[in-house]
Amino acid sequence: MTPTEPQSPTDLPRPRPHGHHSHASSHGHSHGHSHSHGPPTPVSAHLRKVIAAVLIPFAVAVLAGLIVMWPGGAPPHKHSGLGLDQQTRSGRVVKIEEIDCSKAGATPQQQSPQPGGGPPAAQGPCEKSEIEVTSGPDKGRTFTELVQPSASRHYTVGQEVVLAYAPKAPKNLQYAVTDVDRTLPMALLAGLFALAVVVVGRLRGVFALVALVVSFGVLTLFILPAILHGSDPLLVAVVGGSAIMLIALYMCHGLNARTSVAVVGTLTSLMLIGLLGALFTQWAHLTGDTDDQTGLVHGLYPEIEIRGLLLAGIIIGSLGVLDDVTVTQTSAVWELKEADPSASWRKLYGSGMRIGRDHIASVVNTLVMAYAGASLPLMLLFSIADSGIGRVATSEIVAEEIVRTLVGSIGLVASVPVTTALAALVVSADRHNTKTRAKSGPRARGASRGGRRRRAK
416-448, pLDDT tens digit by residue?
Answer: 999 999 999 888 876 555 554 445 444 444 444
pLDDT at 121: 47
Residue 69 near residue 226 (C-beta atoms within 8 A): yes
pLDDT classification of 455: cutoffs 50, 70, 90: very low
User: pLDDT tens digit string along 238-258?
Assistant: 899 999 999 989 988 888 888
Q: How far apart are CA 455 and CA 451, in angstroms?
A: 6
pTM, full prediction:
0.68
- Residue 257 buriedness (CB in 10 A; 0-12 / 13-18 / 19+): buried
pLDDT at 139 over 70: yes
Confidence tier at 60 by pLDDT (50, 70, 90) = very high
Lowest mean pLDDT among 6-10, 40-44, 61-65, 260-264: 6-10
Give 319-375 pLDDT, tens digit per residue.
878 888 899 899 999 889 888 888 888 899 999 999 888 878 777 777 677 767 766
- In this predicted structure, what is the pLDDT of residue 364? 73
In whole angstroms, what is the distance from residue 270 CA to residue 277 CA? 10
Distance (Å) of CA 115 to CA 35, 119, 144, 152 = 67, 9, 33, 18
List, in order, residues 6 or more apart from 194 with CB less than 8 Å away.
Answer: 209
Distance CA 178, CA 116 (A): 31
- The size of the chain, in residues, is 457
The predicted structure's pLDDT at residue 82: 61
- Give 330's DSSP letter: H
Sign of torsion, CA 341 331 368 242?
Answer: negative
Strands 126-133 and 142-147 come out as antiparallel
Provide, rounded to the nearest whole percent, the portion of the chain with pLDDT above 90: 18
- Give the confidence band of 9 by pLDDT, cuts at 50, 70, 90: very low
pLDDT class for 17, splitting at 50, 70, 90? very low
Distance of alpha carbon 332 from alpha carbon 32, whole angstroms: 19
323 C-beta neighbours (distance < 10 Å), count? 21
According to the model, what pLDDT value does residue 21 have?
41
pLDDT at 166: 84
Distance CA 263, CA 250 (A): 9
| pLDDT tens readout for residues 213-242 | 998 999 889 988 888 888 888 889 889 999
Going from the C-alpha of 59 to that of each of 55, 243, 335, the distances in angstroms are 6, 8, 27
pLDDT at residue 43, rounded to an integer: 63
Phi-psi region at 254: left, alpha or beta (left = phi > 0; alpha = psi -120 to 50): left
Q: Is 229 helix (H, G, I), strand (E, B) or coil?
A: coil
